[in-house]
């Protein structure tokens, strides 16, 4: 028996529930040297903004116990060059392409989304309302239910692609934000983005990141992510995409049990470039072994 | 698909001095493809602590033995674990990664500057030049360390007939002071030719900052190999950038070898 790993978000059917997280996979090409990208459910690009961004001063990353901090500062080529230079590669892939969009005002989100509209090779959008590292925008849209609603509503009205809202854990109640973006017309929510964190170089009496604070990712945040996915999944009808410290098949299955219809591998890509495809294989093997016909049968099946 | 995880077999672990180690690793793929300047990104163990891979310059390659070497100093938990490995253990490697040094012409002079562990890629470069029958008399090697016992591989270099300039910060061997001071003195006294000469440097950032300033001042054709914390090592995360006159560049993918005149280090 070959288990059915396919999952749907909006009208888009993914061959399996494994995605690679924004910011950890460039624009796809870098990891194309390591494995067949078509084996993935989908690829999520680095955040795209209206204009190119150079990003923050180095040092931009540092390792922490079972995790890492990053403050890249949304460095990206901007929407124009993305369409000209990066999309042609992605267009030739059979896997689904999700373009992550960031902005510092609702107008910017709308402008980027308008420019991406109708472009061949894009299957969905993920709206980043949760970047912890840029002063204006990003997280400010994701930390208040009203702002999150307004942002997603504006994007919804200007795009025909299915839309995923990427949520921040740095809020009082993530469920409230998830409900708001569902009302605004989002087709799915992905959570969690990184947690705000900090590391200090005692010798130099300086922060380890030039931005002082950064976003914490990796196995260190998995328990937080699982709890948030579990809480959110029972309160919204749209699919929940889980991420936060997923390193292997077991981690992925835990998120699925907690209510995630799909999962994203982020920091895991750095540790093992083939982490995501190994999870695709691992899910298949697990379903075969446990005689599970469809992976969707497992979603939210946590016994509580 | 031309890149993949390699499983290397550890052949030997040598302790060369205080906290200094050399690993010899069997990997036919890497031994075949590696060039001076390339680096390898390795996992020190299978756990998630430490989490990220570590980047090391490829130090030496023995093509006929299908092996390559890494040279490193124990500076934290990752290098500590690596130094305690035993021959026969397997090592998860991504290599060769990054760009490589561009070689001089046969009739050009070559000047190399190594600071501390900066010896690792430059020794590989100089060995490659000698293997290609470059005239050792046209090669000058400046090697600075903190104290004498860190002057690794000096005997190997002496026997090749290249011109060796040694410095130690404590004066226990050679010139007393920084290697960049000795280099600058030689340059100012016109004992080093700058025309039809290729310069190469690797070492700590403060040293490379000096080299970069000197290169701009004297218009030297100088390549420097940089070090940075690299989460992905393949150009995806944009975490390891260095500032240049052309904007931020990824050390892992656009480097680690850069034109010294273009890099802006602080």
Give the tokens for residue A279: 């999870």
Q: Looking at chain A from residue 190 to 249, which residues have their Cβ under 8 Å from any Cβ of chain B? A: 218-219, 247
Short-list B55, B200, B192, B228, CA closest to B127? B200
Cross-chain Cβ contact B238/A34 below 8 Å:
no
Residue A201 lies in a domain: yes
Q: Do B39 and B115 lie in a common domain? A: no
Query: Is the model's pLDDT at A133 over the cut of 70?
Result: no
Instruction: Please give the full DSSP string across B56-105, using - where no structure is assigned.
Output: EE--EEEGGGTEEEEEEE--SHHHHHHHT--TT-EEEEEEEES--PPPPP
Q: Which of B52, B234, B242 sits opposite A271 (nearest CB)?
A: B52
B58 and B147 within one domain: no
H or E segment to which residue B163 belongs: strand B163-168
Is B254 in the same domain as B151?
yes
> Nearest residue on chain A to B266, judged by CA atoms?
A58
**Confidence check: pLDDT of A280 > 60:** yes
Catalytic residue among A131, A151, A275, A287: A131
Cα dist from B264 to A73, A167, B219, B232, whole Å:
19, 36, 15, 23
Q: Is residue A279 part of a domain?
A: yes
With 60 as the cut, is the pLDDT of residue B239 above it?
Answer: yes
Do B91 and B136 belong together in one domain? no
Q: Do A67 and B51 touch (CB under 8 A)?
A: yes
Quote the mean pLDDT of chain A: 95
* Domain span holding position A251: 7-298
Total CB pairs under 8 A between chain A and B: 102
| Whether residues B122 and B221 fall in one domain | yes
> pLDDT category, A136, cuts 50, 70, 90?
low
Same domain, B126 and B252: yes
Percent of chain A with pLDDT over 70: 96
Q: Which of A26, A65, A90 to mutate to test the interface with B (most CBs of B within 10 A)?
A: A26
State mean pLDDT over B27-45: 96
Q: Which of B39, B69, B97 is the last residue of a domain?
A: B97
Say yes or no to pLDDT of B262 above 60.
yes
Rg of chain B in Å (alpha carbons)? 18
pLDDT tens, residue by residue, B79-129: 999 999 999 999 999 999 999 999 999 999 999 999 999 999 999 999 999
Catalytic, A131? Answer yes
A50 falls within a domain: yes
Mean of the pLDDT values across residues A55-79? 96
Q: Is A219's CB within 8 Å of B243's CB?
A: no
Query: Is B228 in the same domain as B251?
Result: yes
- How many folded domains does chain B comprise? 2
Say if residue B148 is in the same domain as residue B208.
Answer: yes
Q: Which of B45, B52, B235, B239 to mutate to test the interface with A (most CBs of A within 10 A)?
A: B239
**Of A57, A62, A66, Cβ closest to residue B48:** A66
Q: What is the DSSP string of A117-166?
A: TT-TT--EEEEE---TT-SSSTHHHHSSHHHHHHHHHHHHHT--S-EEEE
Residue B1 domain-assigned (yes or no): no
Q: Is the dihedral of CA B175, B176, B178, B182 positive or negative?
A: negative
Tokens 């969690």 -> residue: A192
**Residue A137 scores a pLDDT above 60:** no
Residue B104 lies inside a defined structural domain of this protein: no
Q: Which of A35, A70, A218 sits opposite B239 (nearest CB)?
A: A70
Question: Which residues sit opposite B142 in a β-bridge?
Answer: B113, B165
Residues B74 and B117 in one domain: no
Among the partner-chain residues B3, B52, B92, the one whose CB lies closest to the CB of A68 is B52
B121 located within any domain? yes
Does any domain span residue A258? Answer: yes
Closest in A62, A65, A270 to B232, CB measured:
A270
Q: Which residues contact B149 (CB under 8 A, 6 or more apart)?
A: B17, B18
A176 lies within 8 A of chain B by CB: no
Task: Tell whether A2 is covered by a domain.
Answer: no
Query: Is the confidence at residue A134, as pLDDT, over 80?
Result: no
Q: Are B207 and B178 in contact (CB under 8 A)?
A: yes
Asked if the Cβ–Cβ distance from A58 to B4 is below 8 Å, we say no
Would you call A52 an interface residue with chain B, using a CB distance cutoff of 8 Å? no
A200 pLDDT above the threshold of 60: yes
Whole-prediction pTM: 0.95
User: Which residues of chain B have a Cβ shorter than 8 Å from any chain A Cβ?
Assistant: 1-5, 43, 48-53, 92, 94, 228-229, 231-243, 247-248, 253
- What is the rounded CA–CA span in Å between residue A228 and residue B137? 67
Contact criterion met (CB < 8 Å) for A66 and B5: no
- pLDDT at residue B191, rounded to an integer: 87
Res A135: pLDDT: 56
Residue A196 in domain: yes
Residues of chain B above pLDDT 90, percent: 91
Residue A145 lies in a domain: yes
Q: Domain of B35: which CATH number?
A: 2.40.30.10
Check pLDDT > 60 for residue B16.
Answer: yes
Give the structural domain span for B56.
Answer: 6-97
**pLDDT the model gives residue A100:** 98
pLDDT of amino acid B1: 52
Give B-chain residues touching A75 at CB under 8 angstroms. 238, 241, 248
Question: Quick one: pLDDT band at residue B190, thresholds 50, 70, 90?
Answer: confident
Per-residue tokens: B61: 């390659």
Instruction: Give the model confidence (pLDDT) of A80-95 as tens digits.
Output: 999 999 999 999 999 9
Q: Which residue of A has its CA nearest to B44?
A: A271
Note whether B88 and B184 are same-domain residues. no
pLDDT of amino acid A140: 63
Most B CBs within 10 A among A39, A52, A63, hence the mutation to make, goes to A63
For residue B32, is it within any domain? Answer: yes
Give me the CATH number covering residue A169: 3.20.20.70
B200 and B118 co-located in one domain? yes
Q: Which of A135-139, A218-222, A279-283 has the lowest mean pLDDT?
A: A135-139
> What DSSP designation does A274 have?
T
Could you read off the pLDDT of B137-189 as tens digits, one per residue?
A: 999 999 999 999 999 888 888 899 999 999 999 999 999 999 999 999 999 98
Q: Give domain status of residue B146, yes or no.
A: yes
- Kindly tell me if the per-residue pLDDT of A279 is higher than 60: yes
CB contact under 8 A, A72 and B2: no
Shortest CA distance from B1: residue in chain A: A33
Question: How many structural domains does chain A have?
Answer: 1
Query: pLDDT at residue A132 above 80?
Result: no
Residue B253's nearest CA partner among B264, B244, B237 is B237
Write out chain A residues lying below 8 Å of B94, CB-based. 273
- Select from B97, B117, B141 the last residue of a domain: B97
Residue A304 lies inside a defined structural domain of this protein = no
> What is chain B's length?
266
pLDDT at A12 over 60: yes
Q: Which of B234, B237, B242 sits opposite A58 (nearest CB)?
A: B242
Q: Domain of B251: which CATH number?
A: 3.40.50.80
């Amino acid at each position: 028996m070959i288990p059915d790993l396919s999952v749907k978000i909006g009208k888009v059917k993914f061959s399996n529930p494994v995605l690679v997280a924004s910011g950890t996979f460039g624009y796809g090409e870098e990891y194309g040297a390591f494995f067949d990208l078509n084996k993935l459910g989908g690829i999520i690009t680095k955040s795209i903004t209206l204009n190119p961004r150079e990003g923050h001063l180095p040092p931009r990353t540092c390792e922490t116990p079972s995790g890492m901090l990053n403050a890249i500062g949304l460095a990206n080529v901007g929407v124009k060059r993305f369409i000209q230079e990066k999309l042609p590669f992605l267009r030739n892939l059979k896997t689904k392409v999700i373009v992550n969009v960031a902005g510092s005002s609702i107008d910017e989100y709308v402008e980027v989304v308008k420019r991406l509209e109708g472009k061949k090779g894009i299957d969905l959008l993920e709206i980043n309302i949760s970047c912890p590292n840029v002063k204006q925008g990003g997280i400010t849209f994701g930390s208040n239910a009203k702002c999150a609603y307004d942002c997603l509503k504006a994007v919804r009205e200007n795009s025909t692609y299915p839309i995923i809202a990427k949520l921040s854990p740095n809020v009082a109640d993530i469920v409230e934000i998830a409900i708001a973006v569902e009302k605004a017309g989002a087709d799915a929510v992905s959570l969690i983005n990184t947690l705000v964190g900090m590391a200090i170089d005692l010798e130099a009496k300086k922060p380890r990141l030039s931005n002082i604070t950064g976003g914490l990712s990796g196995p260190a945040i998995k328990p937080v992510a699982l709890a948030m996915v579990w809480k959110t999944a029972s309160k919204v009808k749209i699919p929940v995409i889980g991420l936060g410290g997923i390193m292997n098949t077991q981690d992925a299955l835990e998120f699925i049990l907690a209510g995630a219809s799909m999962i994203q591998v982020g920091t895991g890509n750095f540790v093992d470039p083939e982490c995501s495809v190994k999870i695709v294989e691992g899910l298949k093997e697990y379903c075969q072994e446990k005689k599970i016909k469809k992976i969707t049968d497992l979603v939210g099946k946590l016994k509580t | 698909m031309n890149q993949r995880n390699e499983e290397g077999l550890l052949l030997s672990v040598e302790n060369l001095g205080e906290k200094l180690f050399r690993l010899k690793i069997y990997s036919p793929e890497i031994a075949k493809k590696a060039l001076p300047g390339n680096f390898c990104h390795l996992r020190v163990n299978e756990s998630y602590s430490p989490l990220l891979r570590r980047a090391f310059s490829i130090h030496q390659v023995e093509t006929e033995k299908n092996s390559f070497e890494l040279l490193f100093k124990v500076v934290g938990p990752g290098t500590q674990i690596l130094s305690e490995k035993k021959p026969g253990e397997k090592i998860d490697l991504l290599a060769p990664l990054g760009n490589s040094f561009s070689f001089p012409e046969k009739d050009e002079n070559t000047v190399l500057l190594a600071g501390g562990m900066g010896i690792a890629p430059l020794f590989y470069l100089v060995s490659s030049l000698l293997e290609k029958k470059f005239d050792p008399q046209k090669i000058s090697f400046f090697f600075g360390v903190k104290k004498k016992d860190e002057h690794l591989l000096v005997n190997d270099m002496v026997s090749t007939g290249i011109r060796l300039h040694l410095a130690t910060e404590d004066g226990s061997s050679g010139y007393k002071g920084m290697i960049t001071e000795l280099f600058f003195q030689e340059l100012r006294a016109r004992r080093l030719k700058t025309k039809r000469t290729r310069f190469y440097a690797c070492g700590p950032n403060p040293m490379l900052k000096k080299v970069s300033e000197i290169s701009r001042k004297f218009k030297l054709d100088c390549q420097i190999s940089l070090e940075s914390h690299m989460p992905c090592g393949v150009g995806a995360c944009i975490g390891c950038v260095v500032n240049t006159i052309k904007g931020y560049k990824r050390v892992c993918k656009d480097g680690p070898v850069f034109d010294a005149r273009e890099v802006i280090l602080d």
